[in-house]
């Protein structure tokens, strides 16, 4: 039984092991572990890479971040790059080229053979955030007219890393006819027609389907591989689960960034210019909403000048409303992202109920505190009522604003926060100061 190799052992092997030892061991090591080693030991990176075979190098390049794939590939000679590209899958090369300038992209394409280059060019025609943009064109086709014997002979000659537990059956026009498992193939007699063991109810993806919806479909059915088809149901390629993991991470990152008013492309290691450009637009928008809230306060300057305690309490009213709105907003935006919010349940008013209950509790606590602070029951009542109403409005806004934005095809994660904050701030100030103005003689 072979022992599990440690990172130090792997480094020693890659630097000083014989060619045979490297070849025998390297197939048992995941490429991402070698990539991590290269990142952690940059002084040894060139020596390690030069000792690895082309197929392993291709796997390592594929594991690298999209924006860094080209830099890693450029460490090799043009001839070696050509060999590495031959070993890479079409979808990974497409991702690599998608990060490059036109001249660099042409340089990579010119190093590929004609068939692979044509495949990549076809993939580049699809929108990058659709099923066609993330699929790969390497897959094994099983023809419907064949028997099990024909299929087994074909698989013996063509089995490689693209073979999976499930295989897709097509006709001579490449129209998808169904899916068949390897188990059904190996347990059937040689003369069995493939169509007789093929499941025609195969779940497929349209090439123009958004990648977020593709991820939902994978999650719903629990598949590790799904076929991509065109309008005529002709098979174009396949999407693997590891690609969907990248999509899920990308979509989650985008939603989190947008909720914070940050460009989805910004990263921890982004440049000063990139980070500034990413953040300043929404800060300017927030500035205008803050001015709107300030204008609301200015309408009640006379009231505030007579009851200074109002200035102490009003940030509590708006702040708690903002927190309640953010809670509701977070749940709804995430529900929209996961497809949990549908036409059937979109009319539910749970968030208003939550707002009422929260308003009663928080409003009651604040009312008691305000009454104690000013020794004035009316002052406490005004504070409590304003808090109660603002909590309801906050939950109402947190629910309906993202739903409305989604209906108008505006990313709710990007724009909802600004609108919800505006509602809670403006209405919080207006309700609190407006009520105080109405009963001003009673709180003086």
Interhelix angle for 31-40 vs 54-63, to 10°? 70
pLDDT, tens only, 117-168: 988 998 999 998 899 999 988 888 888 889 999 988 888 877 655 556 778 9
Q: What is the DSSP letter of 262?
A: -
Give the Cα separation of 31 and 310 in Å (integer): 63
The pLDDT, as a whole number, for residue 382 is 94
Q: What is the pLDDT of residue 159?
A: 63
Euclidean distance between CA atoms 375 and 339, whole angstroms: 50
What is the per-residue pLDDT across 81-103, written as a single tens digit (0 to 9) for each? 999 999 998 888 998 998 889 89
Gap between the Cα atoms of 295 and 289, Å rounded: 10
**Residue whose structure tokens are 């002084």:** 43
pLDDT given for residue 342 in this prediction: 65
The whole-angstrom separation of Cα 394 and Cα 11 is: 57
- Per residue in 194-209, pLDDT (tens digit) is 989 999 999 999 999 9
DSSP state of 4: P
Handedness of CA 66, 337, 176, 224 (dihedral sign): positive
Average pLDDT over residues 249-276: 75
State what percent of residues in the chain have pLDDT above 70. 95
Tell me the pLDDT band of 368, cut-offs 50, 70 and 90: very high
C-alpha–C-alpha distance, residues 401 and 119, integer Å: 43
Backbone phi and psi for residue 233, each to the nearest 5 degrees, phi listed first: 70, 20
Nearest to 436 by CA among 373, 394, 378: 378
Contacts of 81 (CB under 8 A, 6+ apart): 73, 74, 108, 111
Q: Look at 155 and 391; give whichever has higher pLDDT.
A: 391
> From CA 180, how far away is CA 243, in angstroms rounded?
22
Q: Check pLDDT > 60 for residue 352.
A: yes
Q: How far is the C-alpha of 197 from the C-alpha of 188, rounded, in Å?
A: 8
What is the pLDDT, as a whole number, of residue 1? 41
For the whole model, what pTM was predicted?
Answer: 0.69
- Retrieve residue 95's tokens: 């991702």
Taking the CB of residue 190, how many other CB atoms lie within 10 A of it? 11
- Beta-strand ranges (E) seen in 107-224 are 141-143, 166-170, 176-181, 205-206
pLDDT at 344: 61
Residue pair 49/30 in contact by the 8 Å Cβ criterion: no
* pLDDT-wise least confident of 2-11, 285-294, 326-335, 364-373: 2-11
Distance (Å, rounded) from C-alpha 421 to C-alpha 398?
Answer: 9
Q: How does the average pLDDT of the chain come out, rounded? A: 87
Lowest mean pLDDT, pick from 54-58, 286-290, 307-311: 286-290
Distance in angstroms (rounded) separating the CA atoms of residues 390 and 414:
23
The model's confidence at residue 15, banded by pLDDT at 50, 70 and 90, is confident
Question: CA-CA distance, 128 to 87, in Å (whole number)?
Answer: 22
- Given a cut of 90, whether residue 433 has pLDDT beyond it is yes
- Section 3-27 average pLDDT: 81
- pLDDT of 2 > 60? The answer is no
Mean pLDDT of 230-244: 91
Order of strands, sheet of 141-143, starting from the edge strand that comes earlier in the sequence: 141-143, 166-170, 176-181
């Amino acid at each position: 039984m072979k022992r599990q190799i440690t990172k130090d052992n792997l480094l020693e092997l890659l630097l000083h092991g014989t060619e045979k030892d490297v070849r025998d061991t390297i197939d048992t090591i995941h490429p991402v572990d070698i990539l991590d080693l290269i990142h952690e030991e940059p002084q040894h990176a060139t020596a390690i890479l030069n000792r690895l075979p082309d197929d392993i190098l291709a796997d390592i390049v594929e594991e690298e971040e999209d924006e860094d794939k080209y830099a890693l590939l450029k460490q090799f000679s043009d001839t070696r790059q050509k060999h590495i590209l031959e070993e890479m899958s079409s979808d990974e090369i497409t991702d690599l080229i998608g990060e490059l300038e036109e001249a660099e992209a042409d340089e990579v394409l010119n190093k590929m053979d004609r068939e692979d280059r044509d495949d990549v060019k076809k993939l580049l025609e699809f929108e990058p955030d659709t099923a066609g943009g993330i699929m790969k064109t390497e897959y094994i086709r099983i023809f419907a007219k064949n028997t099990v014997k024909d299929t087994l002979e074909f698989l013996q000659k063509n089995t490689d890393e693209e073979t999976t537990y499930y295989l897709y059956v097509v006709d001579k026009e490449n129209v998808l006819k169904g899916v068949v498992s390897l188990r059904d193939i190996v347990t059937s007699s040689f003369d069995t027609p493939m169509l007789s063991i093929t499941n025609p109810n195969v779940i497929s993806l349209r090439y123009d389907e958004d990648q977020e919806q593709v991820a939902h479909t994978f999650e719903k059915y629990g598949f590790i591989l799904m076929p991509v088809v065109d309008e005529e149901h002709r098979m174009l390629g396949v999407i693997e689960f590891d690609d969907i993991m990248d999509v899920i991470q990308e979509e989650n990152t985008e939603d989190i960034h947008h909720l914070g008013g940050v460009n989805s492309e910004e990263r921890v290691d982004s440049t000063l210019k990139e980070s500034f450009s990413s953040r300043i637009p929404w800060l300017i928008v927030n500035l205008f909403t803050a001015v709107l809230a300030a204008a609301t306060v200015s309408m009640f300057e006379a009231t505030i000048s007579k009851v200074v305690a109002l200035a102490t309490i009003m940030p509590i009213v708006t702040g708690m409303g903002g927190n309640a709105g953010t809670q509701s907003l977070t749940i709804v935006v995430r529900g929209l992202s996961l497809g949990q919010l549908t036409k059937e349940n979109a009319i539910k008013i749970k968030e208003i109920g939550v707002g009422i209950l929260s308003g009663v509790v928080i409003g009651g606590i604040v009312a008691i505190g305000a009454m104690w602070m000013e020794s004035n029951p009316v002052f406490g009542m005004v504070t409590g009522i304003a808090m109660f109403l603002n909590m309801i409005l906050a939950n109402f806004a947190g629910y309906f604003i993202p739903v409305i934005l989604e209906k108008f095809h505006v990313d709710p994660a990007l724009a909802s926060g600004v609108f919800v904050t505006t509602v809670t701030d403006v209405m919080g100030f207006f309700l609190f100061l407006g009520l105080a103005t109405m009963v001003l003689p009673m709180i003086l």
